[in-house]
Amino acid sequence: MLRRLRELMAEPVTAQERLDKIVKTIASNMVAEVCSIYVLRGDSRLELFATEGLKREAVHKSSLELGEGLVGTIAEEAEPLNLPNAQAHPAFAYLPETGEEIYHSFLGVPVLRGGQTLGVLVVQNRTQRTYSEEEVEALQTTAMVLAEIIAGDELDALVEPGENLALRRPQHLAGRILSEGIGLGHAVLHEPRLVVTSLIAEDVDTELVRLDAALDQLRTSVENLLTRSDILRAGEHREVLEAYRMFAYDQGWAARIREAVQTGLTAEAAVEKVQNDTRARMLRQTDPYLRDRLHDLDDLANRLLRTLVGFDHIDEAEMPKDAILIARNMGPAELLDYDSGGLRALVLEEGTPTSHVTIVARALGIATVGQVEGILDLVNPGDAIIVDGLSGEVHVRPPSDVEFAYVEKVRFRARRQEQYRKLRDKPATTRDGTPIAMLVNAGLLVDLPHVAEAGAAGIGLFRTELQFMVAETFPRMREQQMLYRSVLDAAGDLPVTFRSLDVGGDKVLPYMRSTQEENPALGWRAIRMALDRPGLLRTQIRALLHAAAGGDMRLMFPMITDVSEFDRARAMVEREKRHLERHGHALPDQILLGTMVEVPALLWQLEELVERVDFLSIGSNDLLQFLFAADRANAQVADRFDALSSGPLRALRDIVVTADAHDVPVTLCGELASDPLSAMALLGIGYRSISMAPAAVGPVKAMVRSLDVGALQSWLIPELAKPRSGLRKDLIAFAEDHDVQL
């Protein structure tokens, strides 16, 4: 039957003729008096597209709601129904126009693709009997072939005007705003869905040999994963890998794949079939643990498929100019692999506001929405997509009216951006005359034009690690020097504060070996790694000294936990300075050294710290993460605590008060400064220098120029002393009452 279906799929006939021949072939091979194909439309109705045995005039006339009748039940539950007497089933719905009342035995299976139900395939007989397991398996295999036909565009011609198939119906999904903006374009999958093109086996024995070899290779790769030291560092967990191993060695899983091969499928088609069946069941599980394991099973099955068919990754040269990148999650270096000029937006199934890929997306000005559940299953490459990074909405295959509304929204946003651009050359001074230093965060040369475009007062944080993360080998001193010189040249007279190499944790350098850690964010990273491997930091310091010769060098050290660590880092700078002097090299006119305040332990060493440093920078992302003991990359806890509550604001207030008392400049350079409301709170507790994503400068400057910071401070600081928690609603109310532009 599968060979005959392959021939039918290749015949030069119309879509309807092909379906008619398919149902006739299935009925003949299964000795069934009826074979019918129902296809799920975009309006959630299952339309009869073809039949052998029922009345032909019912084709494209009869339909059932999702959940209605036996066919609707199969589609809704994604489970087969095998009934000796269909009319006795409580879900049976009689459709008189089909003439099916004379048939009793009924076997229906869902047509699945990627866990989605696309339709239902049914066979029926007059006699009352239960179909055998082999017949159920054969019909499920046939439904898999049918899914590829439905997934193509051939059946679109059979749909009534104004209707569309469920696979191509518009989808409106909700997620979380990670980077503001609006992107209109077409979908590009970061890890393209593996497409099985060879479905029907020429030689079953050969396919079984291929499958066994691929399974052996899969199991070996899983064992290798368990022994690799970089797994935990990359964010994986031991129990996930144990689940991989469990699935890889599960004999029932392997046996189901072998059985599918023995029905006539290729090895890769058999893997996809079993994966579809399993995913459809698991997607309907309410147990969160089982739903989480779905990701494990997907990854495992995809590994096996890659072994069998190869992995065809996205060709950057073929990306559309209006690409909307879709991924489960990704690292910052992976995002940087793409040409940012062609990226309109990023959509993640996971992702949090302070994850590093989000920070890079903001720096590049890419609209980003995260925590969009199921996006990878609902999108096909090339689908039209609208990403609303202002509301957290994602529209897949949007209707024309929605698309038109967003075109108008983009035009309105462009007009608003033009208003922000008009503020570029105006001073960042509050309504009551307080000047605010508005700086930007950067890490790439592509960021630098945004400094002047935004009207920023300088670069408050240049993340030097991004150069290391996108390089294939460790950048040599000369390469580092050229980058730092380019940054200083581009900034001109504006100040630039470089942060020394901040890697480790979730920022992994592929060419650097590291040790396995259970808690990488709390482990061997940033200044800890640099002090243990002084050659890395010394090379970077020397490159910066060369690059800043004749000007100012501002360097801060991340993850300082004890003042003695700053002393050691400062001693390394002095050593490199003396080395260059001895060899006659020019030096910077001024060298300013500071530290990031992002480890809570420093809050009780501020007095000792401010006596040593030239400036302080607050890394609010890590500081809040550690204060709340909440992993900023973990979507389950990232929203659990509010930065605009009394606890963190009191801590931030203590830092600025201590720094001011010793005339030490302090800048908050975390993502907290990029939100106008949060930036307003920072000004209210005493900050006068903030550094943010370039795209945030306009909105934050508009807030600054409309704010009476004296009035805010008079209200807010006493409020911090009260026994209360959240202040967000009160801050919003203050802004509304005082006409502050947020």
- Paired with 393 in beta bridges are 174, 388
pLDDT computed for residue 225 by the predictor: 58
**Percentage with pLDDT > 70 across the chain:** 88
Dig out the tokens for 290 from the structure.
């089982």
- Under a CB-based contact definition with an 8 Å cutoff, are residues 38 and 47 in contact? yes
Residue whose C-alpha is closest to residue 6's, from 193, 153, 144, 205: 144
Angle at 450 between CA 676 and CA 329, to 5 degrees: 70
pLDDT computed for residue 233 by the predictor: 37
Provide CB contacts within 8 A for 64, sequence distance 6+: 38, 45, 46, 71, 72, 93, 95
Greater confidence (177 vs 505) lies with: 177
Written as one string, the DSSP assignment of 496-562 is EEEEPP--BTTB--TTS-----S-GGGSS-THHHHHHSHHHHHHHHHHHHHHTTTSEEEEEESS--S
Greater confidence (265 vs 313) lies with: 265
Greater confidence (616 vs 240) lies with: 616
Which residue shows structure tokens 């207030």? 653
Position 517 pLDDT exceeds 80 = no
- Give the residue-averaged pLDDT of 61-79: 93
Query: Domains along the chain?
Result: 2-167 (3.30.450.40), 170-192+314-414 (3.50.30.10), 204-309 (1.10.274.10), 423-737 (3.20.20.60)
pLDDT computed for residue 293 by the predictor: 57
Kindly indicate the confidence band of residue 470, based on its pLDDT and cuts at 50, 70 and 90. Answer: low
Question: Can you tell me whether residue 51 is helix, strand or coil?
Answer: strand
How far, in Å, CA of 275 to CA of 652, rounded? 50
pTM for this entry? 0.60
Which phi and psi angles does 189 have, rounded to 5°?
A: -85, 130
Long-range contact pairs involving 400-408 (C-beta distance under 8 Å, separation at least 24)? 402/170, 403/184, 406/182, 406/184, 407/184
Which residue shows structure tokens 């993340």? 463
How far, in Å, CA of 714 to CA of 722, rounded? 14
Kindly indicate the confidence band of residue 232, based on its pLDDT and cuts at 50, 70 and 90. Answer: very low
- Under a CB-based contact definition with an 8 Å cutoff, are residues 588 and 549 in contact? yes
Greater confidence (203 vs 228) lies with: 203
- Give the residue-averaged pLDDT of 166-170: 76
Written as one string, the DSSP assignment of 281-316 is HHHT---HHHHHHHHHHHHHHHHHHHHHH------G
How far, in Å, CA of 265 to CA of 148, rounded? 14
- Under a CB-based contact definition with an 8 Å cutoff, are residues 677 and 628 in contact? no
Point out the residues that are catalytic.
356, 669
How far, in Å, CA of 251 to CA of 484, rounded? 56
| pLDDT tens column, 102-134 | 999 999 999 987 667 899 999 999 999 999 998
Q: Which amino acid is at 292?
A: D
- Give the residue-averaged pLDDT of 433-446: 87
Our measurement of the distance from residue 555's CA atom to the centroid of its chain's CA atoms, rounded to an integer in Å, reads 32
Greater confidence (677 vs 315) lies with: 677
| pLDDT tens column, 713-736 | 999 999 998 887 789 999 999 999
Provide CB contacts within 8 A for 10, sequence distance 6+: none
Do the strands 367-370 and 343-348 form a parallel or antiparallel pair, or are they unpaired? Answer: parallel
Our measurement of the distance from residue 40's CA atom to the centroid of its chain's CA atoms, rounded to an integer in Å, reads 29
Residue whose C-alpha is closest to residue 270's, from 167, 380, 140: 140
How far, in Å, CA of 496 to CA of 463, rounded? 11
Please report which helix (H) or strand (E) contains residue 224, including its range.
Answer: helix 204-227
Burial class of 713 by CB neighbour count within 10 A (0 to 12, 13 to 18, 19+): middle
Least confident of 189-198, 581-590, 601-610, 660-669: 189-198
Q: Which amino acid is at 19?
A: L
Q: What is the mean pLDDT of the chain?
A: 85
Position 243 pLDDT exceeds 60 = no
- Paired with 64 in beta bridges are 46
CA distances from 415 to 71, 177, 408, 612 (A): 52, 21, 11, 47
Position 415 pLDDT exceeds 60 = yes
Position 509 pLDDT exceeds 70 = no
Position 447 pLDDT exceeds 50 = yes
Order of strands, edge to edge, in the sheet holding 45-52?
Answer: 63-65, 45-52, 34-40, 116-125, 105-113, 81-83
- Altogether, the residues listed in the chain come to a count of 742
Q: Whole-angstrom distance between the N-terminal and C-terminal Cα of the chain?
A: 65
Burial class of 567 by CB neighbour count within 10 A (0 to 12, 13 to 18, 19+): exposed
How far, in Å, CA of 27 to CA of 17, rounded? 16
- Under a CB-based contact definition with an 8 Å cutoff, are residues 609 and 595 in contact? yes
pLDDT computed for residue 286 by the predictor: 57
How far, in Å, CA of 691 to CA of 602, rounded? 21
pLDDT computed for residue 237 by the predictor: 37
Burial class of 661 by CB neighbour count within 10 A (0 to 12, 13 to 18, 19+): exposed
Kindly indicate the confidence band of residue 601, based on its pLDDT and cuts at 50, 70 and 90. Answer: very high
Dig out the tokens for 369 from the structure.
């929405």
Please report which helix (H) or strand (E) contains residue 212, including its range.
Answer: helix 204-227
Question: Can you tell me whether residue 79 is helix, strand or coil?
Answer: coil
Question: Can you tell me whether residue 47 is helix, strand or coil?
Answer: strand
pLDDT computed for residue 317 by the predictor: 52
Least confident of 193-207, 582-596, 612-626: 193-207
Task: Taking the CA atoms of 311, 315, 319 and 324 in sequence, report the sign of the dihedral they define.
Answer: positive
Least confident of 176-185, 355-364, 525-534, 568-577: 355-364
Greater confidence (4 vs 174) lies with: 174
pLDDT computed for residue 240 by the predictor: 45
CA distances from 405 to 184, 423, 503, 577 (A): 12, 28, 43, 59
Kindly indicate the confidence band of residue 336, based on its pLDDT and cuts at 50, 70 and 90. Answer: confident
- Under a CB-based contact definition with an 8 Å cutoff, are residues 159 and 60 in contact? no
Position 579 pLDDT exceeds 90 = yes
Greater confidence (675 vs 8) lies with: 675
